[in-house]
Structure 1
Amino acid sequence: MLNTYTMRDHDMPEELRFLLHSHPRDTWEAHPGFKEKTRHWLGAHQMFRRVAERVRRDTEAVLNKDIALGDYVGRLSYFGGNLIGNLHGHHGWEDHSYFPELSAADPRFDTGLDLLEKDHADLDVVLEDMTQKANRVIKLATLDEGQAHEEANAVLPAAEAIEAFLKRHLSDEEELAVPIILHHRLRG
């Protein structure tokens, strides 16, 4: 669970939600500054949430013997690999392109950025741990099914941590960034 990893487990401080009251989440799509680029960014976040949930549920299913190990290994390889690779790419793009744009538009973003960048560094640790544990299960599946099944027990806490982390982090990121985008009419 989260206590196995060093990750922030509390919401973003209220003072960092400085434009959220002017631009609440339920008004974003109707705002004239809400453009396709922002919709795609939020869509990527939704995809990450769904895939993280899928990896966790599949791991629970193999541990409960609701799916065969071979099916699980295929799913873990495909969905786990895509989740990890795409999260690294997405966060790299945010850190090097997207967040600097928001910071230049509104310097108040910088305080929240410090928190988000720390989150990204913490998530990298969990993703690396998940990669090692998942790869071990995948390799063992052809060598020793019993041991591979046992090793899936180690994948579950990492999958749970990624899912919980994304639920909190992505919401915080969205509630900091989208109001700035709307307020300053960015990403058009």
Structure 2
Amino acid sequence: MTDLIPIRTTDMPAEMGVLLHDYPRDAWAANPHFAKSTRQWMRAHEKFRVLADHLHDQTQGFLDRNHDPDDFADHLGRYGTALVRNLHGHHHFEDRTFFPELSAVDPRFDAGLEILEKDHEALDRVLDDFSHIGSRVIKLVQLDKAAAREEAGLLITQTGAIRAFLDRHLGDEEDLAVPVILHHALRG
């Protein structure tokens, strides 16, 4: 199943990082153009990372028999749904509003934005697989706890994939978008 997880393994083209040299990550917070909306956008990214890590850890705890199956199923339903819905909404906003805004002020980075949009499409497939497997685990907890643990073995692969995907994608997204925002004093 891991062979089917479409995580991009190539780096962003070097020319996509041209502004990152002038606006390094460790100086963003001190930049006067690092607006509240950009901080909120990055906080959402951090929440996605934390939630994906949490779901992975909870699934591993279930596999290790450290969690009550019913509690795990409830937890998976609540937090898994939150992750999927919020990521879909976040990426919809980026594809429809945020990326076009960046492209309008600096089309040099359109190739990078296209890569990020393709990442969104691939992440949608990963999230759909996670949702299907998660739903099966939740149903199996009520029917056959041993089968639920077997299915959770597939789920741990998905949560690991989501974590890896988010680490790769969100870092690239921030390294591309924030320097453009700071350079052009957007969103402030």
- Paired residue for 1:10? 10
User: Does structure 1 residue 74 correspond to structure 2 residue 74?
Assistant: yes
Q: Would you say the 8 A contact 1:16–1:112 is kept in 2?
A: yes
Q: 1:30 to 1:80 in 2, by over 3 A?
A: same
Q: Secondary structure at the match of 1:38?
A: helix
- What is the aligned length? 188
Match of 1:91 in 2: 91
Q: Is residue 24 of structure 2 the alignment partner of residue 24 of structure 1? A: yes
Residue 47 of structure 1: aligned partner? 47
8 Å CA contact 1:45–1:170 kept in 2: the answer is: yes
Higher alpha-carbon deviation: 10-19 or 107-116: 10-19
What RMSD over aligned residues (CA atoms) do the two structures have, in Å? 1.1
| Distance in 2 separating the partners of 1:179 and 1:31 | 10
- The superposition leaves residues 144-166 of structure 1 with CA deviations (integer Å, 9 ceiling, x where unpaired) of 22211211111111110000000
CA distance in 2: counterparts of 1:109 and 1:30, whole angstroms: 24
Unaligned regions of 5+ residues in structure 1, if any? none
Q: Distance in 2 between matches of 1:87 and 1:128?
A: 12
Alignment of 1:102-181 (within 5 A): 102-181=102-181
TM-score between the two structures when normalised by the length of structure 2: 0.97
Cα pair 1:11 1:168 within 8 Å, conserved: no
Q: What letter corresponds to residue 125 of structure 2 in structure 1?
A: V
How many angstroms apart in 1 are the aligned matches of 2:76 and 2:134? 7
1:65 maps to amino acid? R
The one-character-per-residue Cα deviations of 1:119-145 (angstroms, maximum 9, x if unpaired) are 001101100000000000111111222
Q: Distance in 2 between matches of 1:9 and 1:156?
A: 20
Amino acid at match of 1:174: E
Distance in structure 1 (CA, Å) of the matches to 2:5 and 2:41 = 27
CA distance in 2 between partners of 1:2 and 1:173 (Å): 24
Give the gaps of 5 or more residues in structure 2: none
Following the alignment from structure 1 to structure 2, what is the Cα–Cα distance between the partners of residues 109 and 73? Answer: 42
Contact between 1:126 and 1:162, CA under 8 Å: does it hold in 2? yes
The structure-2 alpha-carbon separation of the partners of 1:2 and 1:8, relative to structure 1 and needing over 3 Å to count, comes to: farther
Change in Cα spacing, 1:126 to 1:23, as seen in structure 2 (3 Å) is: same
For residues 47 and 11 of structure 2, the distance between their equivalents in structure 1, rounded to whole angstroms, comes to 21
CA displacement at 1:79 relative to structure 2: 1.1
- For residues 149 and 84 of structure 1, the distance between their equivalents in structure 2, rounded to whole angstroms, comes to 22
CA positional deviation for 1:3? 3.2
Matched residue type, 2:152: A
